[in-house]
Amino acid sequence: MEAIIKQILKKENINAKMIKKATSGFTNIVYFADGFVIKIATDEYTKNKLEKEISIYKNIKINNIPNYISSGTINDYTYLIISKVNGVGLYSIWHTLSYEQRVNCVKQIAKILKEFNKQNAEFLSDEYKMTDWAENIKNKLKNVSNGLKKLTLDTKKLDRFINYKVNNYFGENNFGLVYNDSHFDNFIYDNGKLSLIDFDRVVYAPIDYEMLIFKTMCDNPSKFASEEDEDKIIDSDYSNVYDSFKLYYKEMFNVANVEERIKIYQFIYLADQAINMKNRQIGNSWAKELLVDFIKDFCIS
Name the nearest CA neighbour of 183 among 151, 132, 217: 217
In this structure, the chain runs to a length of 301
Q: Where do the domains of the chain lie?
A: 2-83, 88-297
Whether 204 and 136 have beta carbons less than 8 Å apart is answered as: no
Fold match between domain 2-83 and domain 88-297: no
Is residue 22 predicted with pLDDT exceeding 90? no
Say if CB 106 and CB 98 are below 8 A apart: no
Pair 38, 69: CB distance under 8 Å: no
The pTM is what? 0.94
> What pLDDT does 24 receive?
67
Which superfamily, per CATH, for 88-297?
Answer: Aminoglycoside phosphotransferase (APH), C-terminal lobe (3.90.1200.10)
Q: What is the pLDDT of residue 28?
A: 78
48-84 confidence digits (pLDDT tens)? 999 999 999 999 989 999 999 999 999 999 999 999 9
* CATH placement of domain 2-83: 3.30.200.20
What region, left, alpha or beta, does residue 172 occupy, with left being phi > 0 and alpha being psi -120 to 50 degrees? beta
pLDDT(27) > 80? no
Nearest to 22 by CA among 191, 197, 180, 184: 197
**Closest to 235 (Cα-Cα) out of 94, 42, 33, 56:** 94
For residue 16, CA distances in Å to 4, 13, 24, 33, 251 come to 14, 10, 21, 6, 44
Confidence (pLDDT) at 85: 95
Of 217, 181, 209, 151, the C-alpha closest to 52 is 181
For 81-124, the pLDDT digits (tens) are 999 999 999 999 999 999 999 999 999 999 999 999 999 999 99
